[in-house]
Amino acid sequence: MTERILIVEDEPKIADLLQKYLHNAGYQTHWLSSGIGVSDWVRIEKPDLMLLDLMLPGKDGLEVCKEIRQFSPLPIIMLTARVEEIDRLLGLELGADDYICKPFSPREVVARIKAILRRLQAFAAASNNGGSQTNVSTLLELDRDRLTIKAGERETTLTLVEFELLAALQQHPGRIFGREQLMSRVYSDNRIVSDRTIDSHIKKLRKKLAEIIPQQELIHSVYSVGYKFEA
């Protein structure tokens, strides 16, 4: 099945470039140049993923994202020229799945799309195998101001990166996060870091979690995909 990517972008040059690269990567595309009507289109056409520009005429990307989330879990990658917006986007927890800063390399966009679609497939496969989703969020108390986590009487301090990784993972128990996705959560300036960077942060985070919750492993590796949080 050919996956269909919706591009919502008001700059024709960028939209053309994205379409070209996505076609080469074997995807179908559809382009909308304004925020108006995006929800209706998604409702009727049910694309597999959406690239959504932040600054759009008519209705901005944030509004569109919020609207879509009312009725659909469609994977959304936000495109933004404003690096300083990323923190706000993350803080708002709008439910976008990833963020890419402009100017971007179209290859990177394709890689992110592949990562998200792969993660979804892996997750669907896991669900079909009866994979359970136990909510363990209540097990841990996260204190963002002090960068500490607490379980019962035990407490430990995390680095900012470790804290952000844990916060992202534990918010969606059972959901598989690709490394690229975790990186974009943690590194708001879209710098290039290797997979190993995330792996080493996760390793340290696991060690600290084991200090306060020794009886069970909470962060699980999902082979060739990434990580998930589950009791």
Please enumerate, as own/partner, the contacts of 91-100 that have beta carbons within 8 Å and a separation of 24 or more: 92/62, 93/171, 94/62, 94/65, 94/66, 94/69, 95/65, 95/66, 95/69, 96/52, 96/65, 97/181, 98/180, 98/181, 98/184, 99/184, 99/190, 100/184, 100/190
- According to CB under 5 A, which residues from 35 to 54 bind Ca ion? 53
CB of 82 to Ca ion, least distance (A): 10
53/98 with CB nearer Ca ion: 53
Query: Residue 6 and residue 213: Cα distance in Å, rounded?
Result: 43
CB of 112 to Ca ion, least distance (A): 18
Q: How far is CA 63 from CA 38, 55, 162, 178, in A?
A: 11, 10, 30, 26
Which region, judged by CB under 5 A, interacts with Ca ion, from 8-16, 63-71, 126-134, 136-144? 8-16
**Contact between 10 and Ca ion per CB under 5 A:** yes
55/142 with CB nearer Ca ion: 55
Could you give the angle at which helices 106-128 and 12-24 cross, rounded to 10 degrees? 50
- Residue nearest to Ca ion as judged by C-beta position: 55
19/170 with CB nearer Ca ion: 19
CB of 13 to Ca ion, least distance (A): 11
**Contact between 17 and Ca ion per CB under 5 A:** no
Which region, judged by CB under 5 A, interacts with Ca ion, from 2-10, 19-27, 65-73, 108-116? 2-10
**Contact between 55 and Ca ion per CB under 5 A:** yes
- Neighbouring-strand partners of residue 154: 151
Residues forming the site for Ca ion (CB under 5 A): 10, 53, 55
